[in-house]
Amino acid sequence: MFIVRKFCSIATLCKTIKPTNFTEKLFKQQDHPTLCLTAAKQFHGSAVHLREPKQDAIVIGDGDRKYEPQSPYRRHWPKRFQFVTSTRFGPTLPRVNKELKHQLPFNYKDKWSDKSALQGANDYIDILGDGTIHPVDLIKGPAFLIGYNANELGRLNRRLRFEGRYLADNFPSELEKILKRIKFLRKKYNYKRGKRVRKRFKYR
Amino acid sequence: MLGQTCRKITGSLNVSPRIEFKRYLWRNSICQQKIDITLKYTDEASGSKANKEPTLYEKFLKNPKSVPLITSRKLENCNKYRQPRQAWLETLSTVEDHKLGMLDLHPDIFAVHPRLDILYHNLRWQEFYKKIDYNWTPSRGDLDVSGGKQMPQKGTGRARNRNRSSIMFRTGAKPLGPKGPRALFYMLPKQYRVQGLCTALSFKYAQNNLHIVDSLEIPTDDPEYIQDLIDTRFWGFSALFVDDTDYMPENITYALAEFPSYNILPVYGLNVRDMLKHETLILTLAAVEKIEQKLLFHSSRNKRSSKFSMDTRYDQY
């Protein structure tokens, strides 16, 4: 019963209250001499602001007979006007009047270019075609990697099988690096792996 | 024996007075009266020649192109418990939408259960199987650096060290970085890829984005013709035309060259990723027959696909 009464009373009182307009507040602060110094005050907030009385209070009578009825929404003002200080600020200010230097151009990706519109063409050519062509033939890259996926040891050994003679004749230093790496990986994969494999000894 | 007795009973039942009385009741009931009324009016309407509409057959005799014909397509190995799906046969020869007939589509290709996991696997495979990662970071042995000590062990205020190639240095090695050109190649089983195509086609059919056309021939070379055609039929912002062979008609190639979102492919270039990227799919009749034949052949084939291995590609090893 008590709860129902409370709701009823609140509903009737809500009609008498006039909500403040947000724009009115802004214009007031702009007109005020001390407050209009900060540019984006509404967004940012300031350390110092004035407390002003609300204009939505209920006042009955004029002159000496002026009084405010007791209500849960009565205002507590007029009080002594005071300055309020706070150390809390809002978010950072936008750089409105600043010039942006070293601005990188934002390039939109062309999703309908010749390359990206028909990117997956001929992937099902062994099903929908004669059967002589395999989608592996579409891959472009070094010959020792087409149709081959293995760990580093396998890749290096296969590279030697394909390009060993060429490297020995023209790039001996690179060949030496490959052989060193193979020696290291052979030991790592075969002697230094246990039940629980740490990141260091994974097959990469 | 049982059948003979049943026939005797049914013969006797039709003659029994109880059933004849029921028939008498039914004929005098309201339902039957309504049926009689409708039949009478239809007869009267067909009798009078003033408001008579020409029948389909009469229309066909005058102009065979004005009447939509139901063409029955032969479907091979159709499951008798699954009904074939139907689609209109349209044209590109006019901007307006004229239907030439109705076709039957195989349910095992155009009415497959919508499996999103198969679509996902196909898309991922299409993206990754061609990739080769060229990132490479040097390890300690790969750096061309002298093996001498950089600074004395003690005396300097700095940390102790040996080589310039150590990990602690800024210009040193990266211990577990990417190593070498690496291929992200793998092959999906053939059934996954076949079913991927079937699910994509069935999605397009179910969502009203699939249109079948007699051929891709166009009267003019103008790109505005195609734009008007697609706008009137509400085919969307992107369309994929699929023909039987590589050789395309001349006019359509010039017309679609100016639109990046309208593309042409032959049948062997069809794939899941392009079907989902373009809004509408437009197939020719010959392409439909070729697709059905190929997909049914491979879906029922149990032979293990020839792997890319030394057995089949000896010349590359």
| pLDDT per 10-residue tile (average), chain B, 317 residues | 59 61 69 67 59 64 70 86 92 85 93 96 97 95 90 92 91 91 93 96 97 91 94 94 94 94 96 96 95 95 68 58
Indicate the pairing of strand B85-90 with strand B99-105. Answer: antiparallel
In chain A, what's the furthest Cα-to-Cα distance? 112
**Residue of chain A with shortest Cα separation from B287:** A128
A121 to chain B, any CB pair closer than 8 A? The answer is yes
Q: Would an 8 Å CB–CB cutoff place B316 in contact with chain A? A: yes
Within 8 A of A149 by CB-CB distance, chain B residues are 183-186
Of A55, A28, A52, A54, nearest to A41 by C-alpha is A28
State residue A35's pLDDT score. Answer: 44
Angle, CA B240 vertex, CA B239 and CA B246 arms, to 5°: 150
Question: Is A114's CB within 8 Å of B308's CB?
Answer: no
E-state strands within A48-171:
48-50, 83-85
Q: Which pLDDT band holds residue A27 (cuts at 50, 70, 90)?
A: very low
Select from A121, A127, A200 the Cβ nearest to the Cβ of B294. Answer: A127
Residue B237 in contact with partner chain A when CB distance is under 8 A = no
Place of tokens 């999703």: A111
Burial class (CB in 10 A: 0-12, 13-18, 19+), B287: buried
- Both tokens of B174, joined, read 């990266």
- Of A145, A156, A199, which is closest to B183 when you measure between CB atoms? A145
Q: Is B35 exposed, middle or buried (0-12, 13-18, 19+ CB in 10 A)?
A: exposed
Q: Considering the entire predicted model, what is its pTM?
A: 0.67
Q: Is B184 on the interface with A (CB under 8 A)?
A: yes
> Given CB atoms, is B277 within the 8 Å cutoff of chain A?
yes
* Residue A75 at interface with chain B, using a CB cutoff of 8 Å: no
Compare CB distances from A148 to B185, B274, B298 and report the shortest one's residue. Answer: B185
**pLDDT value at A22 more than 50:** no
Do the chains contact at A181 and B190, CB–CB below 8 Å? Answer: no
Is the pLDDT at A81 greater than 70? The verdict is no
Please name the amino acid found at residue A189: Y
For chain B, say whether A132 makes contact (Cβ under 8 Å). Answer: no
A180 neighbourhood in chain B, CB within 8 Å = 141
Q: Which residue of A has its CA nearest to B139?
A: A181
Q: How far does A161 lie from chain B, in Å, by closest CA?
A: 9
For chains A and B, CB pairs below 8 A equal: 109
* pLDDT interval class at A98 (50, 70, 90): confident
Nearest CA in chain A to B125: A123
- Compute the average pLDDT of residues A76-88: 63
Strands B280-284, B262-266: pairing kind:
unpaired
Q: What is the pLDDT of residue A55?
A: 58
Report pLDDT digits (tens) over B258-296.
999 999 999 999 999 999 999 999 999 999 999 999 999
Interface test with A, best of B109, B194, B277 (most A CBs within 10 A): B277
Residues in B 202-231 with any Cβ partner in A closer than 8 A: none
B-chain residue closest to A180, CA distance: B141
Contact B268 A147 (CB under 8 A): no
More confident residue, B201 or A38: B201
d(CA B102, CA B29): 42
Is A128 in the B-facing interface, judged by CB distances under 8 Å?
A: yes
H helices of chain A, where? 2-14, 22-31, 41-44, 114-117, 125-128, 152-170, 172-191
Beta strands in chain B (DSSP E): 69-70, 85-90, 99-105, 132-133, 182-183, 210-213, 239-243, 262-266, 280-284
**B33-64 tens-digit pLDDT:** 666 666 666 666 555 555 666 765 566 667 77
Of A178 and B46, the structure prediction assigns the larger pLDDT to A178
Residue-wise pLDDT for B131-153, tens only, equals 999 999 999 989 998 889 999 99
Closest CA to B273 of A145, A135, A102: A135
Spatial distance between the Cα atoms of B75 and B70, rounded to a whole number of angstroms? 15
